[in-house]
Amino acid sequence: MKPFSTPDEELLLWEHVELIAELSQCLPASHPSICQHSHLNKYRTITGLCNNRQNPLWGAANTPLVRWLPAEYEDREREPKGWNRGRLHNGFQLPSPREVSKKILRTSSKGNDDVYSQLLVEWGQYIDHDITFTPQSSGSAAFWTGVDCLTTCEYMHPCFPIETGDIISGAQGCMPFFRSLPACFVNSGSDIEQALQRQQLNAITSFMDASVVYGHNPKMGSFLRDLSGLNGKLAINEQFTDPKGRPYLPFVATLPSACLQDPQGQRVECFSAGDSRVNEGLPLSALHTLWLREHNRIAEALKHINGHWSPETIYQETRKIIGALHQIITMRDYLPKIIGPESFEHYIGPYWGYDPTTDPSASNVFATAAFRFGHATISPILRRLNESFQEHEHFPHLRLHNTFFSPWRIVKEGGIEPILRGIIGTAAPAVSADMVLTEELTEKLVVLNVPQHMDLASLNLQRGRDHALPGYNDWRSFCGLKSIKTLDDFKEVVSDYKVAEKIFEIYKHPNNIDVWLGGLVENLLPGARTGPLFACLIGKQMKALRDGDRFWWEAEGMFTQQQKTELLKASLSRIICDNSDIKEVHPDSFRFSKYPCGYISCDHIPSIDLEAWRQEKSQDLEKCGTPRKIKNGDFILSSTSGKLVALYSCYHGFKLRGASSIVCERNQWSDQPPQCTVNRQ
């Protein structure tokens, strides 16, 4: 008997496959004709599907993180390293993540980096949330055992608690840990062993597409839009505005929400944005707020410039611009500072156009280890500054643990400006092997719905094991770097000898070192904020995200030459100027200088001229007239085979009845527009 077989595909109708997929929250294997619709050529889908026409699932939401090296499970299928307590690895037991955290990673102080501002750190977290999100299994263990992961110290899927036994007193204890959700098996072409292995999910699109602003599925996308305004804008908060009347992010739909509250005042619920982690910290919420405002600012200008555009066209064109700005700021302004100019040239290099053979999907090692380098650059203090970039007289600095899940501090304590000034007017913490993660993160991390303080370093190490990532040495080999065989080898790549000795002492064998830890303590490359291993892994991932994205801003046909010239004038500094009350900035807000040195008036920061997006009414549109509007849906205009076509679509929850596209022929539209009826499925 075959160990694994699939029923004949003919036995299931495609609608049934889609229904099963929806119920199981797994994407259906893509239908062969799914990517043939002409409207998919103009704008990206919100799910990332069909970016690559031959491989529609590449980079799409709810697909597995890709593996650049094979998984290493203890049973080869799903048990992570450390699951079987007596199991030896290279002759030794693996140390507990909490022991590694306490002896190596924890620090009570952080020095300052005098080159870059705290904004560099915050942008790293923000853009990470645009590329990867690995959801965790929910509260209890397998439903038939009824074990609660918050209270058990047993290893029982999906609970993989972190032992915290006090190393000195020997007291037993643990920290709750929920394993990442297993991904659905989507690729029938995989070999059988990989098919049976547990893979993890990227719940959002891998593309740098501003899904952090717009969401990654149709339901979320609709919820975040102001559909009733017929203006292509995003929805804003209906209850509060900032002191100058600028909008805040809308609140979540399900109330009351779990966010922390001001002990004195009225409730402020959790904010809602394209990414569910928006409330994790105040700087992150502030960046989300900036982009909401920037979308609405651009949408309003485009509506004014192109009065004949439909609300859907305004929304999609604005989304396209915002996506391009995320790509430019990250690739041009952020990345070379992180991996260094040499690594940027070596791993990423110039852009030669879209490559349909490049898989842009996020890799497991990038999501779980390499891009978590930023955790070592988080400051224990959030400084809030006034207009003179001095400590704010009404809103003092905050310890980091007082900023988690506290949107009320934005609404009640002066808006986003004190926070933004704090992150552009403060030097980023320095990175060094002997001062890695602040105690605010290793002893006082707040995780919603978990009653105890958590340790981010332990969580990261355990997550790497949960995801079966190979060890540090395997990844060094993958990147063509020298393997670490002896302590002397390790001392060559880690400047702090004591740290190198401690790691060898705890792990007992170089092949056992967890990749996140090894990459974190390496000497930084010149002009970089990472060592050689993370520079390689981040560089390779970013190149794939760029080259494998059909809608990359520089790809052929995406923008006119004039529009590209305008887009290159953009900067995060300008976006801060346009969407906040801050009047002076550094031209590159990622660079640190002490106010007022290097700061210039917003009047002197270049801005995009949206006139480059002016589109005259075509002759066909003049002859046929604007297509009829429809209820609960809208259209975009497209030119197909030289003819003007109106492509209709329905909002989430509605189904199209009638022709989805009508053509302008002989001075009239070829058909009646369709209707959008309630989808009762």
CA distance 613 to 563: 7
The answer to whether 307 and 614 have CB atoms below 8 angstroms apart is no
DSSP, collapsed to helix, strand or coil, labels residue 656 as: strand
Distance of CA 388 to the CA centre of its chain: 33
SS3 content of the chain, % helix, strand, coil (to 5): 35, 15, 50
Q: What is the DSSP string of 114-161?
A: EEEEHHHHHHHHHHHHHH---PBP-SBSSTTT--BTTT--S-BTTB-P
User: Helical H runs in 306-384?
Assistant: 311-328, 335-339, 341-343, 364-368
What separation in angstroms does the CA of 62 have from each of 188, 465, 541?
A: 16, 21, 18
* Closest-CA residue to 361 (of 29, 57, 26): 57
CA distance 491 to 489: 6
* Closest-CA residue to 122 (of 283, 338, 288): 283
| Adjacent-strand bridge partners of 529 | none
Interstrand relation of 106-107 and 112-117 (parallel, antiparallel or unpaired): unpaired
Distance of CA 558 to the CA centre of its chain: 23
CB atoms within 10 A of CB 229: 14
What separation in angstroms does the CA of 642 have from each of 344, 389, 461, 615?
A: 41, 56, 56, 17
* Closest-CA residue to 343 (of 538, 482, 519, 518): 538
Angle at 469 between CA 466 and CA 470, to 5 degrees: 140
The tokens of 147 are what? 């074990």
Helix (H) or strand (E) holding 501: helix 497-507
Q: How many residues does the chain have?
A: 681
* Closest-CA residue to 416 (of 580, 577, 279, 213): 580
CA distance 67 to 103: 30
* Closest-CA residue to 83 (of 182, 163, 147, 185): 163
CA distance 99 to 237: 44
Distance of CA 204 to the CA centre of its chain: 8
CA distance 577 to 573: 6
The tokens of 678 are what? 């309630």
* Closest-CA residue to 397 (of 380, 411, 412): 380
The tokens of 488 are what? 């002397």
CB atoms within 10 A of CB 451: 8
CA distance 44 to 552: 10
Active site residue 346: no
Question: Which of 39, 129, 392, 467 is the catalytic position?
Answer: 129
Q: What are the catalytic residues? A: 129
